[in-house]
Amino acid sequence: MTETFRPETEAQLIDAISWANSELLPLEVIGGGTKRGLGRPVQTAHTLDLSAFSGVNLYEPEELVLGAGPATPLAEIETLLAENHQQLAFEPPDLSALLKVESSGTLGGVIACNLAGPRRIKDGAARDHFLGFDAVSGRGMAVKSGGRVMKNVTGYDLSKMLCGSYGTLAAMTRLTVKVLPVGQKARTILVRNVDAAQGVKALAAGLNGPFEVSGAAWLPASIAARSQIDYVQQVQSDVAALRVEGFGPSVDYRCQKLRALLAPFGETEELHSHNSKTFWKAVRDVTPFCDDDDRVVWKLSVAPTAAPGILSALSHLKEGVAYLDAAGGLIWLATQSPKHGAHEPIRDAIAQAGGGHATLIRGPASLRNAIPVFQPQPGPLAALSQRLKDSFDPNRVLNPGRMTEGL
C-alpha cells in the first residue's frame, strides 16, 4: 500500500529515511510537487512530503542573506524581498505554465534543479547564490554545510553538490541564499532584422563592452510576434535584445552608448519599464512554448558561437521552433516528436558543433522513461556520479532513477 510521509521535524525525517533504508523501499521526495515533470519519472513505493519545512526563518536585508525551509513558496519569498527592494539575483524561472502545474514552485525546488533565468550571464546560477543547508542524507544521517556568507572552501563544497541533484542525495530541511538589491531602472535595447548569426554577433558585441548587460537573447520573428510587446508585434522581424539594469543615470548613459555600438547591426529601439519586464519574463519562463501541449521542449547548453549552426542543422525538425538566451549559449527548442523526442538528431547536432548538453524539459512520462532526459555523461564522470550517490544514498531510497538509471 502506497503511503505519504509528512515529517514535521528533522528527527521525524531521519526516522522516515532510516525506515526506508531498513526496508529498502524508495521514496519520492517532494516539497510543492511542481517539479515532478522535470527529469525521469520516479517509480517509488512511498512519498516523502517536505511541505512542513516551510517559511522564512532568517532574513537580514542589510547582510543580503535569507534563510527558509525548502517548501517555502517562491511567491512568498519574492514578495518579502520586493518590500526591501531586493531579489533572488539568479532570476528563478516560473515554469508552471510550461509544465502545466498550478504553483510557481518552492525555493527548495529551484535549488534542487539549479534553475536560473536570463540574469545568469551576469550574476551566476542558483548554485552561485546557495550559501548553506541542513539536510538528511539518503543514509538517514543529518548533514549541515555552509553558512550565511560566501567564503573560500577547502575540501568538498556540499552546497554545490546538492544544487542540481534533483533530490537524489539528501532531503533538505533548511537552506540559506544570498540576495541582491533590485536595480533602480531596467531598459532593453532591441536590434531588429538580424538573423541568428548576426544576432549572436550583436549580443557578443554588447556583452564584450563595458555595459554590464544582464540579459542577452535572440528571438525569431515567429516568437517575437507573440511576445505581447506592441513594438515587436509591429515590426514582425527577428530581434536581438540586451538588458541593462542599475542606477537610473547610469542605465541611461549605458543604453545610449550601447545603441551606438549596435547601430552597424541594424535599427535599434528601447523597451522601458513594463515592456522590458514583460519581455524578459517571457524569455525566462519559456512563455513562447507554453500553449503548445503536444510539442516536446528541450534546453540546449552550447558554445554561443555554435548556436546558429545548430539551429540550421535542426531546421528539419517537425514544427521545430527555437529562440536563444545567454547570448546564444542557451537554446530553447520545441518540436513535434512525442515518441522519440528527436533526441538523436538534437544530440548529434550538438556533438557536430563541438559539444554541449541537451536536457528534455517537457515531454510525456513515456518519453522521459524511454530516452536520456539529461545529457549522457562520459565514463569517468558517470563513475564519479555513482560514487557520490553511493556516499549519500547507497540504498537508492531518495528519488531513485530521477536523473538516470542508478541515480
Q: Residue 255 and residue 232: Cα distance in Å, rounded?
A: 18
Under CATH, which number does the domain 185-284 receive?
Answer: 3.30.70.2190
Q: Which CATH class is domain 49-181?
A: alpha beta
Q: What would the pLDDT profile of 213-258 be if each residue is shown by its tens digit? A: 999 999 999 898 766 554 444 557 899 999 999 999 999 999 999 9
Q: Is the pLDDT of residue 153 over 60?
A: no
Mean pLDDT throughout 293-298?
Answer: 90
Q: Residue 66 and residue 202: Cα distance in Å, rounded?
A: 37
Under CATH, which number does the domain 287-379 receive?
Answer: 3.30.70
Q: Where in the chain is the domain with CATH 3.30.70.2190?
A: 185-284
Q: What would the pLDDT profile of 84-106 be if each residue is shown by its tens digit? A: 999 999 999 999 999 999 888 99
Q: What would the pLDDT profile of 10-34 be if each residue is shown by its tens digit? A: 999 999 999 999 999 999 999 999 9
Question: Mean pLDDT for the chain?
Answer: 93
CB atoms within 10 A of CB 238: 22
**Centroid of chain to Cα 42:** 20
Q: Where in the chain is the domain with CATH 3.30.465.10?
A: 49-181
pLDDT of residue 387: 94
Q: Residue 278 and residue 300: Cα distance in Å, rounded?
A: 23
DSSP tag of 182: P
Cβ proximity of 246 and 191 under 8 Å = no
